[in-house]
Amino acid sequence: MKLQRLDPERRRRRLQLLAELSDAKALRDRVQPRRAQVDRLRDLIATRRRLFT
């Protein structure tokens, strides 16, 4: 499978979206540290389940 190059405008919009998503996650982690910890643990368990089954 060959990777397609995104045109500059799509690439810029994608990077902006990813940056905003990252900012939103960081803000949520600061506002709800307990929930963030639970989410990280859930992600870790799901990842391990995929890797070791």
Q: How long is the chain?
A: 53
Mean pLDDT by 10 residues, the chain (53 residues): 70 94 87 84 94 83
Query: What pLDDT is attached to residue 27?
Result: 87
Q: Which two tokens stand for residue 53?
A: 């089954």
Query: Which strand (E) or helix (H) includes residue 53?
Result: none
